[in-house]
Amino acid sequence: MPHVIKVAGREISMKTIGILSNDQSDAKGKDSPHLCRMKNAIVTGSTKGMGRSIAEELSANGYRVWISARNMDDLKAAKAEIEQQTGNEVLIHAVDFSVKEEVENYADELLKSCATVDVLVNNVGIYMPDNILDETMHLEKQMDVNFYAPFYLTQKFLGQFKAQKAGNIFNICSVVNRKPRVDGASYTLSKFAFWGYHKLLHQTLLPMGVKVTGFFPSSINTSSWDGMEAPKDDFVQPEDIAAMISTILAMKRGTVPSEIDLVAINPDF
């Protein structure tokens, strides 16, 4: 594995980013029992779209990436493709993030398998349009996936983060946190709950040395727009968010971006 990677067009030592442990980076050609130790990055909802781009970026930068989604076939395909691209190990778990027991069991498996939890990306989400005037809304399903899933998962890891006194959590929030969407009422409510949790995580974990960053993107160029007439080149691009995560991971210990707004250049989206 190379000891130098490129982030945002510049070369950065993997020791600076922290992907290699001190044992690895100081080995100076000597055999070390920690030579194959890699840091762990967990990305939820990661077989396509933004989660997939983030998983690819982190794997390319030397992390052992743990990806998850509901469909095992999609996970196997993503694993094979990412490993072929980067040469680094990708671990997969099929998880229905709308089911609390599956989320907590997934977290337990990760804690058993990972010596450290270095990067957690709470990306999984679902959008179902509705209005508060509708007789039937889709609040429960969207709360389960958009709020409770990242809540239950992250809560399981808090003890590990506290013990480590290090790590990065990236929460994929939404533009609706800045401007509520009338035709996405339940989605807006679920994302406001997640935003509140994000702010609590940021304030609580900051004194422990754990960095919590929220992303607030508008329209993103993902497969959800397939089949629709839309100026996707004018949208926020998934690979740009992935690159920003790499840039944040390369920052000095004292710098903590708390919230990042990403707006599509097309004002209609």
Task: Sort strands 40-44 and 64-69 into parallel, antiparallel or unpaired.
Answer: parallel
Which of left, alpha, beta for 167 (phi over 0: left; psi -120 to 50: alpha)?
A: left
Domain ranges, ordered by start, for the chain? 38-262
Pairwise CA distance, residues 91 & 53, whole Å? 16
The answer to whether the predicted template modeling score (pTM) of the entire model surpasses 0.95 is no
Which of left, alpha, beta for 120 (phi over 0: left; psi -120 to 50: alpha)?
A: beta
Pairwise CA distance, residues 258 & 268, whole Å? 27
Exposure letters 65-80 (e unless 16+ CB within 10 A, then b): bbbbbbeeebbeebbe
CATH 3.40.50.720 matches 38-262: yes
Q: Which amino acid is at 31?
A: D
Please tell me the predicted confidence (pLDDT) of residue 195.
Answer: 98
Q: Are 75 and 68 in contact (CB under 8 A)?
A: yes
Burial (0-12, 13-18, 19+ Cβ within 10 Å), 185: buried
Q: Are 95 and 102 in contact (CB under 8 A)?
A: yes
CA-based torsion, 67, 166, 159, 153: positive or negative: negative
Please tell me the predicted confidence (pLDDT) of residue 266.
Answer: 78
Backbone phi, psi, residue 127, to 5°: -125, 125
Give me the half-sphere count of Cα atoms (radius 13 Å) on the Cβ side of residue 44: 29
Strands (E), 2-158: 4-7, 10-13, 40-44, 64-69, 90-94, 119-122
Please tell me the predicted confidence (pLDDT) of residue 225.
Answer: 55
Please tell me the predicted confidence (pLDDT) of residue 24.
Answer: 37
Report which of 117, 119, 137, 120 is spatially closest to residue 128, judged by C-alpha positions.
137
Pairwise CA distance, residues 184 & 1, whole Å? 45
CB under 8 Å, gap of 24 or more: what pairs does 130-133 form?
Answer: 130/183, 130/184, 130/185, 130/186, 131/182, 131/183, 131/185, 132/185
CA angle 103-68-191, nearest 5°? 65
Task: Sort strands 64-69 and 90-94 into parallel, antiparallel or unpaired.
Answer: parallel
**pLDDT tens-digit profile, the chain (269 residues):** 444 444 444 444 444 344 444 333 333 333 333 324 689 999 999 999 999 999 999 999 999 999 999 999 999 999 999 999 999 999 999 999 999 999 999 999 999 999 999 999 999 999 999 999 999 999 999 999 999 999 999 999 999 999 999 999 999 999 999 999 999 999 999 999 999 999 999 999 999 999 999 999 987 766 665 666 666 677 888 899 999 999 999 999 999 999 999 988 876 66
